[in-house]
Amino acid sequence: MILAPLEMSVPARDGLILKGTLTYPEEYSGGAGFPLAVLAHQYPATRDSFAPLVADLMASGIATLAFDQRGHGASIISSAGPTIIDTPEGFTLQDFGKAFMSSATKVRFAHIENDIVRAASWGANQNFIDVTRLALVGSSIGGSGVLLAAGAVPSVRAVATLGAAGAPAIGSDASERIRSILERLKVPCFLASSREDPFDGGANVTNWSRGLSHVKSQLIAGSAHAMAIYFDVRDELLRFLRKSLGVQ
């Protein structure tokens, strides 16, 4: 039986409507439901930035729920009208940083952690999903978000990040909370970044994984950020997710 994609429409804590797409692997033959990977993207992007990972997970028999982060893509409608991120007007890191911080306040990045919990809950409650096999995957600000959300998702089996960054935009203590959550979580985690990531992804991987045997870290050469390193870590990431979610 072929299962059609499902469109997610979930109200966030502040009333903004989060939009996403749950995509099933090619065919369902009955029995146990599919494991599910919930995907939280980077700024400024949309759920489509995960297209290569979605294709690889689908081929592995893992369903995916990729959603637009608040203020991005289709997740811009609130009771107060459109809520849309600012984007850089120039091409320097300073231009990027200015727009990022403006967006953090404007669209309330402080709610990202809870947004991910709500999206994961919606996905876990859909037909043909195995609620006991959930993974959270995030890039950049989405990476910090899934690490913060992981402690509030009881059935999470794995957490993976690509260039996790921007945690202070979610909360002034978010970096310290991430380390504390990882110390308590005890499920397999995979943290990857380039060594010279301009948004401190490499430093975050090192600091958050230090001394934790259940947290695997991978640092690659260069300064590419977030999903730009996907094909450098693809094989290791897919092996990690397949093993953690019990997919042969």
> For position 205, what pLDDT does the model report?
98
Helices 51-59, 230-244: axis angle to 10 degrees equals: 40
Q: Angle CA(96)–CA(86)–CA(227) in degrees, nearest 5?
A: 55
The torsion angle over the Cα atoms of residues 59, 61, 63 and 69, rounded to 10 degrees, is -40
Helix (H) or strand (E) holding 217: strand 215-220
pLDDT for position 30:
76
What is the per-residue pLDDT across 132-145, written as a single tens digit (0 to 9) for each? 999 999 999 999 99
Predicted pLDDT at 42 = 98
Q: What is the pLDDT of residue 27?
A: 84
Q: What is the pLDDT of residues 134-183, one digit of tens each?
A: 999 999 999 999 999 999 999 999 999 999 999 999 999 999 999 999 99
Domains of the chain by residue range: 6-241
The strand ranges marked E within 6-144 are 6-11, 17-23, 34-40, 63-67, 77-78, 81-82, 129-139
pLDDT of residue 179: 98
Contact, 215 vs 242, CB < 8 A?
no
Residue indicated by tokens 């380390």: 179
The number of angstroms, rounded, from the C-alpha of 75 to the middle of its chain's C-alpha atoms is 15
Mean pLDDT by 10 residues, the chain (248 residues): 95 97 90 94 98 98 98 94 95 97 97 98 97 98 98 96 98 98 97 98 98 98 98 98 94
CA distance 30 to 194: 41
Helices (H), 63-111: 93-106
Q: Which CATH class is domain 6-241?
A: alpha beta
Alpha-carbon span 156 to 136, nearest angstrom: 7
In eight-state DSSP terms, residue 49 is: G
